[in-house]
Amino acid sequence: MRIFIAGASGAIGGQLVTRLVARGHTVIGMTRSAAKVSALRESGADPVVVDALDPDAVADAVAKAEPEVIVHQLSALSGPSSMRRVKQMAAATNRLRTEGTDHLLAAARAIGVHAFVAQSNALWMERTGGPVADESGRIEPHPPADAEAAVAALRHVEDGVIGITWADGIVLRYGSFYGPGTSLSSAPDAVMTRQIRERKFPIVGDGGGVWSLVHIADAASATVAAIERGRPGIYHVADDDPAPVRVWLPYLARTLGAKPPRRVPAWLARLLAGQGAVDMMTRARGISTGKAKRELAWTPRYPSWRAGFTQGLS
């Protein structure tokens, strides 16, 4: 197939290019950075430099590429971290998930693609029910005020893609990424890794928030399976071991050779980082992945973060 990947130079986008080209697909890789064109070309993609927030440029690039499938992996969650930088990245990502999604959907409809596959994530599953949610669960309808824009942007992606009638709309709710190219890897500039080593990523409150994690290579293999044989709807993509923060974070610190994470009361974390961060650390729900395994014939290489952290960070 001819496959257009928006966000082809990101952590998962780069993995997708390599895998799809190896499987015989023609890949058109969209990036906003001219500096990443050479790497995309070396990976086997036909690169295009496009500002995802420019509707005319997106429409023109998609029309020229004539893809059968569009894969939406746009985000701005990369680069050096500071409180101000995090807010800037979050705001930019929200625009990519709202305006960027709308531009890609309009371009896709104009040329009549067969399928549209989009990235969502599982950190904001509705905070009711048990510790693990399946695909019938919805995004939290009443998030904290400081997380409202980010959660609304996720909802925008999901509603827009699942609501299309002119193509197969597929949404992938990923667990939290780790592995090469992500913020949690063995690379010296990996933001989350550095924070854990510097004891700046604490356990907040009781650390009872349940996170599902997924190695970036497993996320990519599930995405390829969804592109090739997914049906319209939502798929959860994560490992088989959802766990509270108070369980997986100390294990990760030991794996990295770091001191145990600090413990910070929820009231103090709320003052320093906001209610949204506290909510994720104390109330998040994990996800189940039975549907992806059944319908996509997908099996993660790392079924638990325990093996993934020790074997797959580099």
Residue 312 maps to a domain: no
Please provide residue 313's backbone torsions phi and psi, each rounded to the nearest 5 degrees. -80, -20
* Helix intervals (H) in 43-173: 55-65, 83-95, 101-111, 148-162
Q: Among all chains, which residue has been given the structure tokens 């709308």?
A: 102
**51 contact partners, CB below 8 Å, separation of at least 6:** 32, 57
Return the structure tokens found at 6: 């928006």
Q: Which domain holds residue 112?
A: 2-179+214-239+287-301
Secondary structure (3-state) at 132:
strand
In a domain, 310, yes or no: no
pLDDT in tens, 100-125: 999 999 999 999 999 999 999 999 99
Residue 244 lies in a domain: no
Instruction: Write down the pLDDT at residue 90.
Output: 87
Q: Helices (H) and strands (E) in the chain — how many of each?
A: 13, 15
pLDDT of residue 76: 79
- 268 in any annotated domain: no
185-195 pLDDT tens trace: 998 889 999 99
Is the residue at 250 inside a domain?
no
* 265 pLDDT higher than 60: yes
> Strands, E, within the chain: which ranges?
2-6, 26-31, 46-49, 69-72, 115-121, 132-133, 168-174, 176-178, 203-204, 210-211, 213-215, 233-237, 243-244, 263-264, 286-287
Q: What confidence score (pLDDT) does residue 78 get?
A: 61
Range from 90-94, 168-172, 260-264, 296-300 carrying the lowest mean pLDDT: 90-94
Q: Is position 175 within any domain?
A: yes
Across all residues in the chain, what is the average pLDDT? 95
* Whole-structure pTM value: 0.95
Share above pLDDT 70 across residues of the chain, in percent, rounded to a whole number: 97
CATH no. for residue 117? 3.40.50.720
Q: How many domains does the chain have?
A: 1
98 in a domain, yes or no? yes
In tens, the pLDDT along 2-12 reads 999 999 999 99
pLDDT at 37 over 60: yes
Q: What is the pLDDT of residue 86?
A: 72
